[in-house]
């Protein structure tokens, strides 16, 4: 999925500045192993994807879950490569960036027509565009809450209006001389 990210900077941004601002949110950044799912969540997930009639590893994995045999669970996980690792407590581990928001980016890209690099004083009327994400000069990634589509059209429209108002409020908080650049991000 591609989405537009508006990056606000004090001056005309150099690539190194944009790169530094977006780096904390890059999916390719690896971290130390950390827990992403509890043992109970791991058991529930594995039961949902494994079949008794499946491979030998799947059968053993289900047997290990029945008996709470975490060592066999860990061996099966290594064979099936479901999670990065399973801890001694049966928790699913990951080395993925927990702040990941994007895996590829390009200046403008498919959103180049939406906004040319400009001073905030020349920023287009927010009613004519649908901003998805804003990255502040401080490097903060700000995005709307979960879409309210499941609440119906009226709620989705209200959520969109709230986000546009919030977006405008944040932009107005910076001097008119600051710059806005659109980045086409993908996740």
User: What is the chain's alpha carbon radius of gyration, rounded to the nearest angstrom?
Assistant: 22
User: 0.75 exceeded by the pTM?
Assistant: no
pLDDT (0 to 100) of residue 148:
43
Q: Enumerate residues 6+ apart whose C-beta is below 8 A from 2.
A: 109, 110, 111, 184, 185, 186
pLDDT (0 to 100) of residue 155:
56
Split at pLDDT 50, 70, 90, the class of 129 is confident
Residue range 43-89, pLDDT digits in tens: 888 888 877 667 777 878 888 888 888 988 888 888 878 888 999 99
Token readout for 129 is 């565009």
Cα 55–Cα 58–Cα 81 angle in degrees, nearest 5: 100
Full DSSP string of the chain:
-EEEEEEEESSSPPHHHHHHHHGGGBTT-EEEEEEEE-HHHHHHHHHHH--TTS-HHHHHHHHHHHHT-HHHHHHHHHHHT-SSEE-TTS-EEEEE-TT--BSEEEESGGGTTT--SEEGGGPPPGGG----EEE-TT--EE---S--GGG-HHHHHHHHHHHHHHHHHHHHTS-TTSEEEEEEEE-
Q: Enumerate residues 6+ apart whose C-beta is below 8 A from 20.
A: 139
User: Is the confidence at residue 110, as pLDDT, over 50?
Assistant: yes
Residue scoring higher pLDDT (144 or 104): 104
Q: What value does the mean pLDDT of the chain take?
A: 86
Residue range 9-34, pLDDT digits in tens: 999 888 999 999 999 999 999 999 99
Domain ranges of the chain: 2-28+100-186, 30-96
Residue scoring higher pLDDT (24 or 146): 24
pLDDT (0 to 100) of residue 133:
92
Split at pLDDT 50, 70, 90, the class of 105 is very high
């Amino acid at each position: 999925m591609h989405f537009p990210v508006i990056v606000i900077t004090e001056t005309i941004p150099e690539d190194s500045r944009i790169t530094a601002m977006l780096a904390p949110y890059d999916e390719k950044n690896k971290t130390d192993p950390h827990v992403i799912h509890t043992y109970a969540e791991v058991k529930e997930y594995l039961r949902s994807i494994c079949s008794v009639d499946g491979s030998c590893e799947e059968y053993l994995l289900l047997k290990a879950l029945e008996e709470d045999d975490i060592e066999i669970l860990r061996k099966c996980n290594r064979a099936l490569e479901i999670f990065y690792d399973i801890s001694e407590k049966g928790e699913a581990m990951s080395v993925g960036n927990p702040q990941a928001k994007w895996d590829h980016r390009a200046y403008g890209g498919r959103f180049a027509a939406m906004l040319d690099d400009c001073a905030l004083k020349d920023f287009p009327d927010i009613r004519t565009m649908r901003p998805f994400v804003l990255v502040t000069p401080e490097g903060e990634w700000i995005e709307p809450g979960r879409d309210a589509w499941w609440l119906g059209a009226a709620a989705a429209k209200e959520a969109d209006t709230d986000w546009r108002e919030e977006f405008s409020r944040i932009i107005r908080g910076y001097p008119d001389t600051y710059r806005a650049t659109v980045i086409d991000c993908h996740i």
